[in-house]
Amino acid sequence: MRLLLVEDDHLLAESLASQLKKAGFSVEEARTAKEALTLGQQEDIQAAVLDLGLPDGNGLDVLLQWRKKQLEFPVLILTARGNWQDKVNGLKAGADDYLAKPFQTEELLARLNAVLRRSQGRSQSLIKAGHFELDENRQVLKQRDGSEVSLTGTEYRLLHCLMSRPGQIFSKEQLKDQLYSLNESPGDNVIEAYILRLRKILGSQAILTRRGQGYSFNHEV
């Protein structure tokens, strides 16, 4: 799942990006309002963590511009401004949640996953498709016989993308966008390699190949 992290504090941004990647996100980083506006509009962003105090503008203005352009991905505001009026202004501008600095990374991840579940119409941290369940908290797959399989970070991100929207066809480029950030250069055959690995776990019919189009998760297995 591709996430946009907008934070001008380099040390905090590096630490957060590392933790978010461990939690299963592909992270794009922006340090300025201008970069945030561009990435939010041009990339397939699934969620954003947005600081308000940016060197070239106010994060609230970025949020208002995103919403004005019908960009509906969930936004968690992260800022040192902690009074109630700032929270109200952020929520009125279109934010889905608000977390004041200083904070614990565990709380940020919990809040972020909560707004993502709500945006997907889910109330639990389990993604169910067919006879399979994907546990977001532990990044493990529960199979039809009740056994559990631990997944690598990339396996988890790929399966999360496919199982979140069973039946939807994803092209290789769309899957790459959700698995890797812009500064990464995966090989041409990386998606095929990971699809093969997941089929060995799930069974050959769980992920379907749509010739000339891409891949989809078969929720009927």
Quick check: 134 and 160 in contact, CB under 8 A? yes
Give residue 84's pLDDT. 80
Same domain, 202 and 167: yes
Choose the final residue of a domain: 119, 149, 165.
119
On whether both 29 and 112 belong to a single domain, the answer is: yes
How many domains are contained in the chain? Answer: 2
- Distance set, CA 105 to CA 48, 80, 168 (Å): 15, 15, 32
Q: Are residues 113 and 6 in the same domain?
A: yes
**Which residues of the chain fall below pLDDT 50?**
none
The percent helix, strand, coil of the chain (3-state, each to 5) is 40, 25, 35
Note if the pTM is more than 0.85.
Answer: no
Residue at 75: amino acid letter = V
Q: State both tokens at 55.
A: 């060197």
Q: So what's the pLDDT on residue 82?
A: 67
Q: Are residues 53 and 93 in the same domain?
A: yes
Residue 65: per-residue pLDDT? 96
Residue whose C-alpha is closest to residue 31's, from 48, 68, 56: 56
For residues 200 and 97, membership in a common domain is answered with no
The range of the structural domain enclosing residue 173 comes to: 126-217
Contacts of 181 (CB under 8 A, 6+ apart): 2, 26, 27, 28, 29
Q: What pLDDT score does 1 carry?
A: 83
